[in-house]
Structure 1
Amino acid sequence: MSVKNLIFFGLLLFVPVSIAAHFLEWGPLVVFITAGLAILPLAGWMGTATEELAVVVGPTLGGLLNATFGNATELIIALIALNAGLIDVVKASITGSIIGNLLLVMGLAMLLGGIRFKEQEFQSIVARVNASSMNLAVIAILLPTAVQFTSAGIEEKTLQNLSLAVAVILILVYMLTLLFSMKTHSYLYDVGVAEIVGESEDTAEPIKAEEISEHKPNTLLWSSVLLGATLLVAIESELLVESLEVATESLGLTPLFTGVILLPIIGNAAEHATAVTVAMKNKMDLSLSVAVGSSMQIALFVAPVLVIAGWFMGQPMDLDFNPFELVAVAVAVLIANSISSDGKSNWLEGTLLLAAYAVLGVAFYFHPVI
């Protein structure tokens, strides 16, 4: 068993601990910390179950399954927070997930992969396509804020309708990106498949083709794991959100910092580990697809879904973000695009991404409550 799985098994102990902390009233801070730690392994098992089921259903449905459940943890946390009326925290978690994946995850992957391998290569064409999609996402979430800023006395209902229209367009674009990556141009995303590359989690030795063909996941088992982990994530997210305001206040943290930094790290931890692990095995294409793909899914799918869900819930969720959040997202997209455009990476580029994330994190920490 790999070290990552051992850690995940250990962290599962926080599931009953967090529930006990809630019912025994150990305090919001204890509930918040234990619930956050409990979500980490659950998100990891959701990802593992999705990957195993993807093997059974085939590449097309498997890709759709991965696309649907790729950011399920963040979506569940955001939906529960949205239902609780914590709209500013939800918006901050959207921008935080984009920033975290582009700077923190890519940065760690390039740094640790670059330490082990002098220079790593990946598909520059895919990087450019992803860059164009992220540019569109930045423009889409910038416009409602720009309209609100430049139009004196604009009604909230008008801003909400604008956000709904933009949300529908972004979801359509997301569906087209899935069609592009899984059907019309899937060959761009199949780097290394011809080599039938498979590596065990504990060694860097290739798995033989016969062993791969014999790997037939238990559909019932992994479906149960996916369902169980999803239900537990929903329960833990409820505990997390209920204790969030009081707990972060006692820690001296603002809702903005909590949404941008803390919640995305909790929701994305499993993906962080995957991206870094495969980068250290010199599979930079896969590492970047995890990091950038997650950011694209947040911007083109999760954010629009939350806008539409807010409309059904009676919560006025729109795409009018804090201007400082938009600046941070634009900075993250700009530096990530410039570094990945040449199709090569090294440890210094990873360090630059991490430095940019650290600077933004400090800025959000000292940003006053508005």
Structure 2
Amino acid sequence: MSGKNILFLVLLIFVPISLIAHFGEWGELTVFITAGLAILPLAGWMGKATEEIAVVLGPLVGGLLNATFGNATELIIALIALRAGLVDVVKASITGSILGNLLLVMGLAMFLGGLRHKEQKFEPIVARVNAASMNLAVIAILMPTAMDVTSSGVSEQTLQRLSVAVAIVLIIVYALTLLFSMKTHTYLYDVGVADSPIVENPAHTPNIWLWGGVLLGSTLLVALESELLVDSLEAATSQLGLTALFTGVILVPIIGNAAEHATAVTVAMKNKMDLSLSVAVGSSMQIALFVAPVLILAGWAFGQPMDLDFNPFELVAVAVAVLIANTISSDGKSNWLEGVLLLATYTVLGLAFYFHPVIEGIG
């Protein structure tokens, strides 16, 4: 068993601890911290189970399964927060997931991978396709926000209708990106698939019932822990002296993405940048083109109207992240200094969100 899986097993102790903290009324801060720590290994086991099941189901169905469950943890947390009426926290978590994957994860991957390997290469065509997809995400957020800022008297209902229409477009585009990567242009993605740790061991035959049970159990426990996390979020962040904006942009995405982050960095250090970037950038694309639109539609269904009219400060941060990530990855090569530039950008944005004053509806 790998060191990562051993760590996931050890961290599972926080599942019962968080429940005891909740029912024993140990305080909202304790519940928030223990629930967050419990989600880390559960998200890791969800990812592991999805990979194992994908081996049995084949590349097409397995790819769809990975595409569906790739950001399941973040989606579950966001859905529960949305149902609780924390719309601004949900929007902040979308922003934070995009920033975290494009800057923190890709930055760490390029930096640590670059320390071991002077220059690392990846498929530039895929990088350009990903860049165009992320540009679309910025446009999707920009239009409703620009409409609200530049037009007086725009009703929430109008913004909601626009956002639902844009969400449908984004979901269609996401489906087409899956068609592109798994059917019409699979040869561009063959390097990343061939580098997969599971594919490297062709004799590996997973027990689909065992891993199906792990996936189901992990998903249910993530939902339970997410309830605890969201219920204690406002009180805990207040005790920590943090705004809900900073928590949504920085803390919540790190909790939901930690296992995925570790995978991207690990494979980058093995000089498998195609696979590393498919995890980091692919996750950002899924958040922008699938998770965010699903949350828009879910908010409409829950009676918790959510739109794509983001805080302009968040919009600027996303645009900056997409710009520098696209610039650095466009040539199909990376080195440790480019990783530092991405990490420095994430740090600057993180500091800006930390010092950003509390505004109505956010903190």
* Fold shared per TM-score above 0.5: yes
Cα distance in 2 for residues equivalent to 1:104 and 1:257: 15
- Alignment match, 2:284: 295
SS where residue 231 of structure 1 aligns?
helix
SS where residue 213 of structure 1 aligns?
coil
- Matched residue type, 2:75: L
- 1:169–1:96 distance in 2 versus 1, CA, 3 Å: same
Q: Does 1:230 align with 2:215?
A: no
Cα distance in 2 for residues equivalent to 1:27 and 1:167: 38
- TM norm structure 1: 0.95
Cα distance in 2 for residues equivalent to 1:336 and 1:355: 12
- 1:13–1:140 distance in 2 versus 1, CA, 3 Å: same
- Alignment match, 2:47: 47
Deviation at 1:35, TM superposition (A): 0.1
Q: Does 1:89 align with 2:78?
A: no
- Matched residue type, 1:139: I
Cα distance in 2 for residues equivalent to 1:252 and 1:296: 32
Q: Counterparts in 2 of 1:319-358, with a 5 A limit?
A: 319-358=308-347
Cα distance in 1 for residues equivalent to 2:94 and 2:20: 30
Cα distance in 2 for residues equivalent to 1:214 and 1:188: 25
- Matched residue type, 1:156: E
Q: Does 1:214 align with 2:207?
A: no
- Alignment match, 1:260: 249
Deviation at 1:101, TM superposition (A): 0.1
Deviation at 1:297, TM superposition (A): 0.2
RMSD of Structure 2 on Structure 1 (CA): 1.2
- 1:168–1:129 distance in 2 versus 1, CA, 3 Å: same
Which residue, out of 257, 277, 283, partners 2:272? 283
The superposition leaves residues 252-303 of structure 1 with CA deviations (integer Å, 9 ceiling, x where unpaired) of: 0001000000000000001000000000000000000000000000000000
- Alignment match, 1:15: 15
- Matched residue type, 2:249: V
- Matched residue type, 1:128: R
Instruction: Extract unaligned runs of 5+ from structure 1.
Output: 201-205
- Alignment match, 1:203: none
- Matched residue type, 1:28: E
Structure 1 stretches of 4+ with a deviation exceeding 4 A read 196-200
CA contact 2:134–2:285 (8 Å) conserved in 1: yes
- Matched residue type, 1:367: H
- Alignment match, 1:104: 104
Q: Does 1:308 align with 2:301?
A: no
Deviation at 1:197, TM superposition (A): 5.2
Q: Does 1:60 align with 2:60?
A: yes
Q: Does 1:369 align with 2:361?
A: no
- 1:85–1:49 distance in 2 versus 1, CA, 3 Å: same
SS where residue 202 of structure 2 aligns?
helix
Cα distance in 2 for residues equivalent to 1:351 and 1:136: 26
- 1:254–1:357 distance in 2 versus 1, CA, 3 Å: same
- 1:73–1:199 distance in 2 versus 1, CA, 3 Å: closer
- 1:198–1:368 distance in 2 versus 1, CA, 3 Å: closer
The superposition leaves residues 235-255 of structure 1 with CA deviations (integer Å, 9 ceiling, x where unpaired) of: 000000000000000000001
Cα distance in 2 for residues equivalent to 1:94 and 1:20: 30
- Matched residue type, 1:30: T
CA contact 2:192–2:278 (8 Å) conserved in 1: no
Q: Does 1:269 align with 2:258?
A: yes
Cα distance in 1 for residues equivalent to 2:155 and 2:139: 22
- Alignment match, 2:182: 182
Deviation at 1:213, TM superposition (A): 3.5
- Alignment match, 1:171: 171
- Alignment match, 2:119: 119
Question: What is the number of equivalent residue pairs in this alignment?
Answer: 359
CA contact 2:192–2:275 (8 Å) conserved in 1: no
SS where residue 154 of structure 2 aligns?
coil
Deviation at 1:10, TM superposition (A): 1.0
Deviation at 1:124, TM superposition (A): 0.4
Q: Does 1:242 align with 2:231?
A: yes
Deviation at 1:5, TM superposition (A): 1.3
SS where residue 55 of structure 1 aligns?
helix
**Identity of counterpart residues, as a percentage?**
79
Instruction: Extract unaligned runs of 5+ from structure 2.
Output: none
- TM norm structure 2: 0.97
Cα distance in 2 for residues equivalent to 1:276 and 1:34: 25
